[in-house]
Chain A
Amino acid sequence: MSYGLIVGEVRRGQFEERNLDSIGLCNLLGQESVLLVPQGDYAIKENCTDAIVKVAVDESIFLNPLDMVNILSRVFDARGKAGAVIFTSSSSGGELAAYAAGHFDMPLITDVSGFEKGQNIFYKSYFSDKIFGEFKPAGGEPPVLTVRSGSFKDAAGEKASPAVVEAMDGVPAGGARSFVEYVEEEKGEVDITKADFLLSVGRGIGNKDEISDYEELADLLKAVLSGSRPVIDKQWLPKPRQVGTSGKTVKPKVYLAMAISGAFQHIAGMKDSDCIIAVNKNAEAPIFQHAHYGVIGDANKLRDKLKDMLKG
């Protein structure tokens, strides 16, 4: 039986929860599961996989694509080429996976969110979840995969016996790229994670001039204003107000999303809100799949109507 190699993401001493999705997919592939991690003092279930390989390097080396390919080479030398190499779908997971696929000349499917076992089909989002493609590695070649977080953690399970633990040392660390330091985001004037009621705006509002009217509506509703990634990228709102994986994860009582189409990275940051209300002019917008209430229509017009009504 071939083995699936799970490259565990350890960041600032934490074994990231999204690794469970990688383990889950590996179990669905029906292959022996081998978890590759850097050495460290973090909690990890001893029976999460069949084997664990602990590499005697700092996490910053482990997360460096130039060093990771050397580590993978060592694993392949010892065990043969893996039947699949599985990374998280994160900033570093995506970076490592692409570099590894290029280095080892392997097929690559990123952001895998579903798997059809009988047919060896991997589901991958296109156009921000508007459609999905059913992908197969050509010629049945072993693929490199990145796994969308939340997709397979239910299949992570536990093995009957503890994993066989191996150590790997003597990995040469390159010098062409090196970690310097972590940089924290500047603190905002408000903490959107503390708000009960978030009024969140997306690119569909059109331009920066619309923001002041949304600020006014937020004031009238006693809501806190936040935004999706494009709004922050365009500097319509400051970074500390960003909802999504690269911004803040929020869980307000009400999340009112206006003109946000609902890219996965945004949904991941707000899906656990008690009540989600979405306003979007496109009836096909993915956000309606996650909302409790929806309005199909122009967000700016609805904003103006609400303002008029509240001002009475």
Chain B
Amino acid sequence: MNLLVFTKRVPATQEEEVRIVDDGKRVDLSKVPFKLNDWDNYAVEEAVRIVEKSGGSVTAISIGDAESDEVLRRAIAMGAQDGFLIEVVQEQQDPNARATLAHNFVRKEVLPFDAIFTGVQSEDDQFASVGGILAAKLGLPFVSMVIGIDAFEAGHATVRRELEGGLQERVKVNLPAVFAIQSGINEPRYVSIMGIRKASKVERKVFKAGDYQDGVANKIDVEKWIYPPSKGGATMLTGDADSICKELLGILKEKGVYQ
């Protein structure tokens, strides 16, 4: 099995404040640390597991600036054989533009593959769309929200999709196909600093996005960034830890859930 996995380096905004600047025209991420997109971590792990079981190779591909080499090193440390960087001058936000660039790259480089994996979504823009657009452009079957792979054999796969409320559906799909992998499908392996250091000795190939621009254009424009409207929000409990705890227990008593 030859598997291509698209991975993205994203700002880790979970614990950080996101600042809108220049009168809503720009989002300042200069103080935010970056990391591998969580969903892609699961996708790389799943691909590596398949190849460990049935042979073949995993190629991690990232569209981004030179810094995105970081997520390729990490993927190699997890077990990918190759890392390809499609280096862009300017970040392409529109999922259509990213997917078209990915499509042009896969076609022009004539990469052999049995399946392409992506994460369901990236943590930053959360469009959850690149895999689906790419599949349609390649004319291949697409399965999203993949939460379990039951069988992965030459020519076909049986996978489970996550639906709502704990429900899943099992689908059968011909290969090659594009799969968008949902978080929680596996427990991604731990990657040590030593492992990443070792991985950085494996050569990663760099391609220039400029060579794959046919039809790449933003189909949507962002006019402005805004903060969500405040709904008034919560009554804040303040003071020292002691008084906050007492007040909290008082609320629980008042609501009748704690005596």
Which residues of A are interface residues toward B (Cβ below 8 A)?
A: 11, 65-66, 69, 90-92, 94-95, 97-103, 106-111, 119, 121, 125-138, 141, 143, 175-185, 196-197, 203-204, 221-223, 229-230, 232-235, 239-240, 242, 245-249, 252-254, 261, 274-278, 281-282, 284, 286, 288-297, 301-302, 305-306, 309-310
Contact check, B219 vs A106: say whether CB atoms are below 8 A apart. yes
Q: B223 contacts which of A66, A135, A229, A242 (Cβ < 8 Å)?
A: A135
Q: Are B225 and A293 in contact (CB under 8 A)?
A: no
* A137 contacts across to B, CB distance below 8 A: 219-220
**Which of A109, A125, A176 neighbours the largest number of chain B CB atoms within 10 Å of its CB?**
A176
* Docked CA distance A126–B233 (Å): 20
Q: Which of A130, A183, A196, A310 contacts B160 (CB 8 A)?
A: A183
B20 within 8 A of A: yes
The stretch of B60-68, B71-79, B244-252 in contact with A is B244-252
Known contacts: A92-B163, A282-B15. The answer to whether A182 contacts B169 by CB under 8 A is yes
CA distance A255 to B125 in the complex (A): 29
Query: Within the assembled complex, what's the spacing in Å between the Cα atoms of A133 and B129?
Result: 17
**With A136-B221, A284-B17, A305-B245 as contacts: A183 and B170 at CB distance below 8 Å:** yes
The docked-state distance in angstroms from the alpha carbon of A16 to that of B252 is 35
Assembled-state Cα–Cα distance A278/B237 (Å) = 10
Residues on B with beta carbons closer than 8 Å to the beta carbon of A176: 141, 173-174, 177
CB distance from A108 to the nearest CB of B (A): 6
Chain A CB count within 10 A is highest, among B180, B226, B241, for B241
Given the interface pairs A91-B144, A180-B172, the reply to whether A246 lies near B136 with Cβ below 8 Å is no
CB of B187 within 8 A of chain A? yes
Asked whether, in the complex, the Cβ of B165 is within 8 Å of the Cβ of A180, the reply is no
Provide the bound-state CA to CA distance between A103 and B142, in Å.
12
Complex CA–CA separation, A282 to B168 (angstroms): 34
Given contacts A102-B99, A229-B184, A253-B257, contact A221 B129 (CB under 8 A): no
Q: Report chain A residues within 8 Å CB of B83.
A: none
Chosen A-B contacts, 27 in total, with CB atoms closer than 8 Å, are: A91-B163, A94-B128, A94-B145, A95-B143, A98-B129, A101-B132, A102-B137, A107-B220, A109-B220, A127-B123, A130-B13, A131-B228, A134-B226, A136-B221, A136-B223, A182-B167, A182-B170, A184-B167, A185-B168, A223-B257, A230-B183, A235-B187, A253-B256, A254-B257, A292-B234, A297-B244, A306-B248
In the complex the two chains form, is A196's CB within 8 Å of B257's CB?
A: yes
B235 within 8 A of A: yes
Interface of B is mostly: mixed
Q: How far apart are A255's CB and chain B's nearest CB, in angstroms? A: 10
B27 interface residue per 8 A CB criterion? yes
Chain B residues whose C-beta falls within 8 Å of the C-beta of A222 in the assembled complex:
257-258
B107 to chain A, nearest CB (A): 14
A294 contacts B17, C-beta separation under 8 Å? no
Q: How far is the CA of A296 from the CA of B237 in the complex (A)?
A: 8
Contacts A66-B141, A177-B173, A278-B234; A136 near B164 (Cβ below 8 A):
no
Q: Which residues of B contact A111 (CB under 8 A)?
A: 126-128
Interface residues of B in 195-220 (CB under 8 A from A): 217-220
Contact B129–A108 (Cβ < 8 Å): yes
Q: Report how far A125 CA is from B227 CA in the complex, Å.
A: 10
The chain B residue sitting closest to A139, CB to CB, is: B219
Whether A295 lies near B129 (C-beta < 8 A) is no
Which B residue's beta carbon lies closest to that of A309?
B245
Contact (Cβ within 8 A) B233 A110: no
Cα separation A29 to B145 with both chains bound (whole Å): 30
Known: A275-B251, A282-B15. A183 touches B245 (CB 8 A): no
Q: Which residue of B lies closest to A65 (CB)?
A: B142
